[in-house]
Structure 1
């Protein structure tokens, strides 16, 4: 909230700013996918998009759109290992459904802390896999 307040007093982000940020988040999300939803929430909050809980539905639509485009590209490229993809997809749907129900019931401060904790943990895991 403090970063967002400072940013809003210094500049008024335009639709082009939001679109540019979202374009690059979509590219990242479609290819890597790791924590892109968290990045969207952080970017949109910093740009003055509102409370995290109110941004979640839009985030879900944008992450779904980026992933849908990526899926089509990967299918056309023949880059999908279906026997691993199907159970992962089932787990993702179940986890997303449960997470959405839990997230709606939590206070915004708890959602913010959990979001930061998951983002930090994801970053540490990706870094350690790549460099250690």
Structure 2
């Protein structure tokens, strides 16, 4: 009797682990597919305009509590920002790279709190992103 219970518990654990792995793989695939769709403009001004557009949409999504959509906008902002260091003057590059790194970290944080349906955490991460984007705006001018 003990052996059958242990086998049943083991089978349930294996199923849960496999199911979780599949869900995580699907989520990563969805995030990767979205990253491929983000077209990065050729100029600093174009990139910043696209970032501001995505940022506005992200703020609207958070405000309307549609947290399942947060990662789309957060990762689009990250992908757009990644195009900036190659387009800014050499004397600005190091600071812009630092901001881009912070944006990437915040995109991950926003994704996590959004996926966890954590409204307060998502709002907090959005405020942090607001500050980094304001600093980035000054850095690229």
Q: TM-score by structure 2 length?
A: 0.36
User: Looking at both structures, which has the greater relative contact order when contacts are Cα pairs under 8 Å and sequence separation is at least 6?
Assistant: 1
TM-score by length of 1: 0.38
Larger Rg: 2
